[in-house]
Amino acid sequence: MAPSTPGLHHVTAIAGEPERNAEFYVDTLGLRFVKRTVNHDDTGTYHFYFGDGTGTPGTNVTFFPWTDRGRRGEFGAGQTKTTAYLIDPDSVDYWVDRLESGGVDLERTDRFDETVLRFADPDGIELELVAADAESVATPWEGSPVPEDHQLRGFYGVTLAVGSIGPTESVLTGVLGYEREATDGGRRRYRSSTGGPGSIVDLIETDAGRGQTGVGTVHHVAFEAADLEEQREWREAFAERGLSPSEIIDRTYFQSVYVREPGGVLFEFATTDPGFTADEDVDDLGSRLALPEWLEDEREEIEAALPSFDPTLER
């Protein structure tokens, strides 16, 4: 069995219009625009990262804006249903007022004795703010429009929708070190045995068909790996279960391994280092189009092919 992951590293989704995407996550949710780069596998597509003041693992939601494609995704089995952020219990009223005044449709509910605020971003990606006394590694961002006491405190967890819980549960518990913690109706909750930010994974069953990737859906969920040694152990563990993990891929800010778990959700395992300061100082994060060294010679062509993006939104 591979070592246990402490929890989430990042969540990556498909957005539509890039300026609207950045405006919501920065101006409404108060996250920092920590990196603007391109999809290394499709350089005609931006890759945006929004997180805390320094882009700490466990705080970052990332997006591929598919402006030129516009294909709507279709929710179904094998997809992330909801991405949840942690907030301080004293921040609930602040966020209700902030979201409602911004025209965001909001549902307030309780789950596992915690207050949950449910809503969607402009592309329909489902989000939650969960009020809980839980550990946070988030670094406040001084430039945020949200006061420090009320800023998002990193991930709380994710809800994954699958056709049958059993096969996905076996991977969570048998490979990633999660433990089944509670049940609420058809929802099963799992927590990383080592704990940490974003340590919650909820599983629900859906009778919908297999989901289709497109605007408004989550592309993959990334778990945190301490280093390359852990990644190799996870690769071996998945291979032993008859799955097909990728080779280790250099993503500049972390090393990655990908595998599709039996329920259809695409998992990534991303290392903690080197982080977003690999090519920008902390004060300059997100201030320019950052390209990996192997793409620098193509910068002019890449910039010309990318959709227009208002530089005043760079944070």
**What does the pLDDT read at residue 243?**
93
Tell me the β-bridge partners of 161: 79, 204
How far, in Å, are 120, 218, 238, 298 from residue 39 at the CA level?
24, 15, 25, 14
How far, in Å, are 87, 98, 114, 128 from residue 92 at the CA level?
8, 10, 11, 12
Sign of CA dihedral 118, 157, 260, 44: positive
Q: Reduce the DSSP state of residue 290 to 3 states and report it.
A: coil
Give per-residue pLDDT as tens, 109-149.
Answer: 999 999 999 999 999 999 999 999 888 889 999 999 999 99
**What does the pLDDT read at residue 99?**
98
DSSP 165-228: HHHHHHHHHHTS-EEEEEEETTEEEEEETT--TT-EEEEEE--S-B-B-SBTSEEEEEEEESSH
**What does the pLDDT read at residue 1?**
59
Do 223 and 256 form a contact (C-beta atoms < 8 A)? no
Task: Return the residue matching tokens 């498909």.
Answer: 14
> Which of left, alpha, beta for 177 (phi over 0: left; psi -120 to 50: alpha)?
left
Residue numbers of the chain with a pLDDT score lower than 70: 1, 68-70, 311-315
Give per-residue pLDDT as tens, 251-270.
Answer: 999 999 999 999 999 999 99
